[in-house]
């Protein structure tokens, strides 16, 4: 199938995303209120817009770091082979860590990342995901906080791409391939 022709139908509006990010930040701030500094680890590249909005809403001292993983390439299907393309710059041993993910889909990437981070002995390790597709889960894993549960649709926008396109959309849209 030629994936070059597609349309995008809005699923979650920019206004709904902004409201949910505020709610998530309030819950996370309350949960980590005793932390001297929360290390927020964004999983690149899909989470970069979400993480920037989320950290600005957190009422906590935060440090931001990034991990870059790959399991999709330019495909709409996960290869289930998770590669770390960029590791953290800082140490997390004994620290409070919040992993920020764009989508929890099959769970393979998040599972791989959490095992890797747990081996570095953080004090606490929690996860916030913008989107969750529980119908696609192949690994028993879930985020501590989830923005929205969505059906098994290929989505773009708000930092999430298809073949490096559509990250700049202010909303989450469903990709519908055309003839």
- By annotation, the residues acting in catalysis are 105
* C-alpha dist (Å) from residue 70 to 52, 99, 121: 21, 16, 24
**Is the Cβ–Cβ distance between 163 and 37 less than 8 Å?**
no
Distant-in-sequence, close-in-space partners of 93: CB < 8 Å, separation ≥ 6: 120, 121, 122
- Tell me if 110 sits within 8 A of 51, measured CB to CB: no
């Amino acid at each position: 199938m030629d994936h070059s022709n597609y349309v995008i139908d809005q699923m979650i509006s920019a206004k709904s995303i902004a409201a949910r990010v505020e709610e998530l930040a309030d819950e996370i701030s309350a949960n980590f209120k005793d932390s001297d500094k929360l290390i927020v680890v964004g999983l690149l590249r899909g989470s970069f817009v979400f993480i920037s909005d989320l950290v600005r809403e957190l009422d906590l001292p935060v440090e931001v770091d990034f991990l870059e993983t790959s399991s999709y390439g330019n495909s709409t299907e996960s290869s289930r082979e998770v590669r770390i393309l960029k590791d953290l710059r800082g140490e997390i041993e004994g620290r409070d860590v919040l992993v920020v993910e764009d989508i929890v889909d099959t769970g393979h990437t998040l599972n791989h990342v959490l095992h890797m981070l747990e081996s570095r002995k953080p004090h606490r390790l929690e996860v916030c995901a913008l989107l969750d597709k529980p119908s696609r889960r192949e690994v028993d894993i879930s985020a501590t906080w989830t923005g929205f549960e969505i059906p098994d649709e290929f989505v773009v926008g708000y930092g999430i791409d298809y073949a490096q396109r559509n990250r700049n959309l202010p909303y989450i849209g469903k990709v519908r391939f055309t003839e």
